[in-house]
Chain A
């Protein structure tokens, strides 16, 4: 069971905006930056958002991240079929001195 809690699944239609939540605690999200990753089937995860809301070069601005207290969110606007993937949040936990991952959210584009 992951310490960072994500909904197992979500869905949306093309063009829609969807959000994925990630809930933690003061020892991780509450005091450390959150990263988000996208994983397509059979591939390694890809960094989408780092430092809560920063997009690496090449990531469309349809993807955005935010953090408030001990929770974080990933928003995807203008949903496209190629966005269908698994999404993971991650944060450093200062109490454990460990990186933690969320359990992942499977996004289905209807």
Chain B
């Protein structure tokens, strides 16, 4: 059974970088049939997919058009985890952030992140 445990700060100041980590158990971040996504949810934007990382013969990423210029998702094979960095945040980035696996079969518990000074 895949389990995803995320961690990171719940308060980020405007213009700074939001950083979250998702630890995987029950599967491998390097799985050649897997993909690992970040998703957020807010009352104004609903559920919004942010991006994913996956390994086939090499590592690849896909990013949502809405955040493409300021997002980085990285795998960490040594710790079997992946991370989210969202740069230059504004109050519009306030949301509950989730990590999820291939086709979003399994989700983390979610972290509410507030962008405020």
Contact = CB atoms under 8 A, between A and B. Distances in A.
B49 A98 contact: yes
Contact of B105 (A47, A100, A101): A47
Interface residues of B, number: 18
A35 B103 contact: yes
A8 to B, nearest CB: 11
A24 to B, nearest CB: 14
A97 B62 CA distance: 7
A37 B47 CA distance: 11
A45 B47 contact: yes
Contacts, number: 44
Interface stretch (B21-29, B80-88, B107-115): B107-115
Interface of A is mostly: strand
Contacts of B46: 2, 88, 101, 103-104
B107 A45 contact: yes
Q: Size range of the interface on A? A: 10 to 19
B76 interface: no
Nearest to B37: A99
B17 to A, nearest CB: 22
Interface of A: 2, 35, 37, 44-47, 50, 56, 88, 90, 96-101, 103-104
Given A35-B103, A45-B107, A88-B46, 12 more contacts: A37-B104, A45-B98, A46-B107, A88-B47, A98-B49, A98-B62, A98-B64, A99-B37, A99-B49, A99-B104, A101-B47, A101-B48
17 contacts: A2-B46, A35-B104, A37-B104, A44-B108, A45-B47, A45-B98, A45-B104, A47-B103, A50-B103, A50-B105, A88-B46, A90-B49, A98-B65, A99-B52, A99-B104, A101-B47, A103-B46
